[in-house]
Amino acid sequence: MGFDDPGGPDVLRPETLPVPEPGENQVLIRVSHAGINRPDVIQRQGFYPPPPGASPIPGLEVSGTVVAVGKGAAPELINRRVCALVSGGGYAEYCLAHSAHCLHVPETMSMATAAAIPETLFTVWHNVFERGWASDGDTLLVHGGTSGIGTMAIQLAKAFDITVIATAGSEEKCQAIRDLGADLAINYKSQDFVEEVKAFTGGKGVNVVLDMVSGDYVARNIECLADDGRHVTIAVLGGLKAEINMATVMRKRLSLTGSTLRPRSDDFKALLADEIHNHAWPLFEDGTIAPVMDKIFPLTEAGAAHARMEGGDHIGKIVLEVAES
């Protein structure tokens, strides 16, 4: 699925292209399912072009079977069930991936479930645990708790003995957050999350904020942070600019950081995948953690899937079925 010009969900349309050939260290995956992520929507709207060399087809994560390998990729990968983080091209029958960015899918895991994991897992692991230095005993504040990122962050944090506070926009979504194990769910439409965080933590604040809003949330997040707290921005859905009191940053000794994963180097993503494989992937293999699944659409209804994401009613991951499992 591609599009000619940026626009609404209806611009997505089927197209026929040659099957790509794997280059050095690449594998060719016959795609079973593809996950939908907010960057796909922003790309379709014309605000997030693919990095140089990446496929212009949307889609940053897939599951499927390896059917060919390029030079430098292990031949034993052929016929292996994998899920993979990709820089583009996921909304297609065949997709290229770097061999080191693939994770083996156990037989006990469905391919739909596997496709819902890589983008959120890589993003949360890097930003919460590497950039945010979260560790057992910390308290984490997650905005957008029922998004794909949010549901992943809650589960991963709880698996590593981190106290979790999350925000959402309805009581139904707050209950979903609680069901995932969050220690406190805040309805940001009816509650002041700053005051709720202060009350829950006895005025101490949280150690890490995972922020997908930015804009005027940043100053409020800083109010929520404890001394030596870390503020990690991964999206700017509420605005590109923020006004903050730098005296507060100095007084609390805060760290403000952020990242985007898609343009990072293959080597960086390979190192990240290796760390995830060693420390987090076993939790998915044994079923301790599983992505929250919202709805599965056929590939031909990618526009409807994007509309659902933009509507904001989803809880968890939206996935495209490319081929019958």
Read out DSSP for 255-292?
A: EEEE--STTS-HHHHHHHHHHHHHHTHHHHHTTSS-PP
Count CB neighbours of 49 within 10 A. 12
- Whether pLDDT at 324 is above 90: no
Helix or strand (DSSP H, E) at 94? strand 94-98
The pLDDT-based confidence of 97 (bands split at 50, 70, 90) is: very high
Can you tell me the mean pLDDT for 191-212?
97
Taking every pair of Cα atoms in the chain, the longest distance, rounded to a whole number of angstroms, is: 60
User: What's the pLDDT tens digit per position in 264-322?
Assistant: 999 999 999 999 999 999 999 999 999 999 999 999 999 999 999 999 899 999 999 99
- At the topology level, CATH places domain 9-117+262-321 in Quinone Oxidoreductase; Chain A, domain 1 (3.90.180)
Average pLDDT value over all residues in the chain: 96
- Whether pLDDT at 53 is above 90: no
Q: Which of 323, 29, 3, 305 is nearest to 148 (CA)?
A: 305
May I ask the CATH architecture of the domain 121-258? 3-Layer(aba) Sandwich (3.40)
Fold match between 9-117+262-321 and 121-258?
no
Torsions phi, psi for 10 (to 5 deg):
-70, -10
Rounded CA separation 258/122 (Å): 14
User: What's the pLDDT tens digit per position in 228-263?
Assistant: 999 999 999 899 999 999 999 999 999 999 999 999
Count CB neighbours of 39 within 10 A. 21
324 against 260, higher pLDDT:
260
Are the C-beta atoms of 319 and 112 separated by less than 8 Å?
yes
The pLDDT-based confidence of 201 (bands split at 50, 70, 90) is: very high
Radius of gyration for the chain, computed over Cα atoms and rounded to the nearest angstrom? 19
Rounded CA separation 291/293 (Å): 6
* Cα 10 → chain centroid: 24
User: What's the pLDDT tens digit per position in 157-200?
Assistant: 999 999 999 999 999 999 999 999 999 999 999 999 999 999 99
- β-strand pairing of 255-258 with 317-321: unpaired
Place of tokens 């953690």: 289
| Coil vs helix vs strand at 165 | strand
- Whether pLDDT at 10 is above 60: yes
Rounded CA separation 182/260 (Å): 25
Are the C-beta atoms of 309 and 317 separated by less than 8 Å?
no
The pLDDT-based confidence of 27 (bands split at 50, 70, 90) is: very high
Q: Where are the domains of the chain?
A: 9-117+262-321, 121-258
- Whether pLDDT at 325 is above 60: no
Can you tell me the mean pLDDT for 218-233?
98
